[in-house]
Structure 1
Amino acid sequence: MPLFDLPLSELREYRPERSEQPDFDDFWSRTLAEAAAFPLDARFTPYDAGFGLVDVYDVTYAGWGGHRIAGWLLVPAGASEPLPTVVQYIGYGGGRGFPHDWLAFVATGCATFVMDTRGQGSAGTPGDTPDPVGGDNPQSPGFMTRGVLDPDQYYYRRVFTDAVRAVDAAVSHPLVDGDRVVVAGGSQGGGITQAVAALRPGLMGAMIDVPFLTGFRRATEIVDTLPYGEISTYLSIHRDQEEQVFGTLSYFDGMNFAVRSEVPALYSVALMDPICPPSTVFGSFNHHAGPKEIRVWTYNKHEGGQTFQIREQLLWLREQFKRDDGPGTGRGTWWR
């Protein structure tokens, strides 16, 4: 697909009006308080991944509703002190896969925590976490309209809560430095990252790669591809529910989280992306309240920068984790 969205010069200034419900903050405070009523009960079981230089733990913890969420924790073999850590979230349909899928960041000497996504894990990479809650309304195949008539029942209320609790689970491990945690993800994982960057205090940064789950209405108006197309399909049948649907989605829109996030952030965008249109990405980026950078991949679709973007992330991550190193901090330079 050739360039189809706004010109880059306009995208850099694009700051669309946000649609936000007046109880947005109360909704998320209540949601996280309800989740906190369940003990985190994070369990780390040593796992034989066949590695010699990385230790792996098979993780479970209590997410939304106390439901058990799976994950991985990877740390350099023999680590004995708390490490800076990257908490990673997964793209749409994918699961946590296997530990060898997540070696890039642990190769720097930091720890990596990977959250499985409830109900997913049958597209691309396998997952191990069911979603025992549905929603009262019929839905378009996929996850975008599951419970979409009620913010309390909407699927991503559970996922975003799981993701906040994933940070809590990670920092409960003695080899994770709770003061140096960066959250990261691409596509759906990028949208989850954007939400967690606003909802979970104390983070050091966020790497938000070609994010999904932002600018819902514009996305459905300019592309018909999945997953946003699930919303369009649903509304093509349930014609009388448009405002109710977008009212629910406003509680989960990345722009509304971006304006509340003050952590340093590294974004990426692909200008030929028909899945997550560039204007939806720039909408969140331009609303992000904290220090921010964006890497632009002009001739790419939803794959974005791929290995080139990972290189950008590694360099950016090094600078974030080195910020507190130096005399008097009690922390040595960990990056080799």
Structure 2
Amino acid sequence: MPVIDMPLEELYAYQGRNPKPADFDDYWQRALAELEAIEADVKEEEASFQFPFATCRHLTFTGVRGAQIHVKAIIPHQPPAGAEKLPAVLEFHGYSMNAGDWTSKAAFAAAGRAVFSMDVRGQGGLSEDTGGVSGNTLQGHITRGMQDGEDELLFRHIFLDTVQLARLVMAREDIDETNVSVTGWSQGGALAVACAALEPRVKRAAPVYPFLSDYLRVWEMDLDVEAYQDIRRYFRRFDPVHAERDSFFERLGYIDIQHLVDRIQAPVLMGTGLIDPVCPPSSQFAAYNKITSEKEIVLYPDFAHEALPGMRDRIFTFLTGR
């Protein structure tokens, strides 16, 4: 079996390298309190694209710090057989990308599941990035807000966007609030994890090779060159002699999903390629090993950060309960 990281038995025992801040729980309690004070002001309009079996809509809501968050929503005309309301799937996209084509969500909608696919603020979709921080905004979402304090970290706000979306969906009259699940790949996998951790009513979570985990481990492996290149850019621009290295990684610990996963109550299905140089397996196992709910990881020994054959079918079966 190809190896770019630890042997498999060590991966299953690995507990992560990035420090967890001492006030981590207070930090997220404070963040969720800020979210609860937001008036979402949800708006909907029908999309130009439509399915014969479902209505496609554009949703926007006001997130923390006043950002307007855009969501593609597909609402089936009928719930699954035997159900009074629609189950729902929340979908999150990869780093720098967007919510994708309507047809990419058709399978869930055809099975009677409402789909809500969120554009991450400041990336490739229609959501708004309100800015207001010092330093780099051209790149560097991982480190965005680092110089202004942990409450200004961009991924703090993005994690809260996922929670707000989940709560708004659960509050809809047409949705079964007990059957809302989450999924995503890479950054989307990280956001699915964060959403399930911070909104414990999520029913099931299906992250694939999740990003935003164990930053120090990625840096020590010299893999801060692709998705994690924000770390290297930050040091080169703002701390070239690494004088603040320890405090830098401790602050990143606030938005490290490995420190959130023990809050997850939902069953988790995860997919991982064992030769992934973008989100290395050990960084993913740092999170997986701390999940205390029912869990399963599907390993692809010869695959990297790419399409994993059969994984989307597994996720469909897992999230639809078939």
The normalised TM-score by structure 1 is 0.88
Q: Letter of the 1:135 partner, please give it.
A: V
Question: Residue in 2 aligned with 1:200?
Answer: 199
Shift of 1:304: 4.6
Q: Letter of the 1:45 partner, please give it.
A: E
Q: Distance in 2 between matches of 1:43 and 1:141?
A: 30
Indicate the SS of the match to 1:263. Answer: coil
**Larger RCO: 1 or 2 (CA < 8 Å, sep 6+):** 2
Q: Distance in 1 between matches of 2:64 and 2:73?
A: 20
State whether structure 2 residue 66 is matched by structure 1 residue 63.
no
Shift of 1:172: 2.9
State whether structure 2 residue 31 is matched by structure 1 residue 31.
yes
CA contact (8 A) 1:188 1:211 kept: yes
Shift of 1:25: 1.3
CA contact (8 A) 1:71 1:115 kept: yes
Indicate the SS of the match to 2:146. Answer: coil
Q: Letter of the 2:37 partner, please give it.
A: A
36-45 vs 84-93, which deviates more? 36-45
Q: Letter of the 2:310 partner, please give it.
A: F
CA contact (8 A) 2:78 2:112 kept: no
Matches within 5 A, 1:171-186: 171-186=170-185
Q: Distance in 2 between matches of 1:145 and 1:183?
A: 25
CA contact (8 A) 1:18 1:256 kept: no
Matches within 5 A, 1:276-291: 276-291=279-294
Q: Letter of the 2:198 partner, please give it.
A: L
Indicate the SS of the match to 2:91. Answer: strand
Residue in structure 2 matching 1:262, options 265, 283, 292: 265
Question: Residue in 1 aligned with 2:156?
Answer: 157
Q: Which runs of 5+ in 1 are unaligned?
A: 122-126, 320-334
Q: Distance in 2 between matches of 1:16 and 1:252?
A: 14
Q: How many residue pairs end up in the alignment?
A: 314
Q: Distance in 1 between matches of 2:43 and 2:138?
A: 35
CA contact (8 A) 2:66 2:130 kept: no
Matches within 5 A, 1:171-250: 171-222=170-221, 223-237=223-237, 238=239, 239-250=242-253
CA contact (8 A) 1:269 1:304 kept: no
State whether structure 2 residue 263 is matched by structure 1 residue 251.
no
Question: Residue in 2 aligned with 1:295?
Answer: 298
Q: Among the aligned pairs, what percent are the same residue?
A: 32
Shift of 1:68: 1.5
Question: Residue in 2 aligned with 1:40?
Answer: 40
Q: Letter of the 1:108 partner, please give it.
A: A
Question: Residue in 1 aligned with 2:119?
Answer: 116
17-26 vs 246-255, which deviates more? 17-26
Shift of 1:139: 6.0
Shift of 1:104: 2.9
Q: Which runs of 5+ in 2 are unaligned?
A: none
Write the deviation string for residues 62-117 of structure 1: whole angstroms up to 9, x where unpaired: 21123221001112234594211111111100112332232232232211111110
Question: Residue in 2 aligned with 1:131?
Answer: 129
Matches within 5 A, 1:30-109: 30-79=30-79, 81-109=84-112
CA contact (8 A) 2:73 2:114 kept: yes
CA contact (8 A) 2:17 2:214 kept: no
Indicate the SS of the match to 1:45. Answer: strand
Indicate the SS of the match to 2:69. Answer: strand
CA contact (8 A) 1:235 1:241 kept: no
The Cα RMSD (Å) is 2.0
CA contact (8 A) 1:139 1:234 kept: no
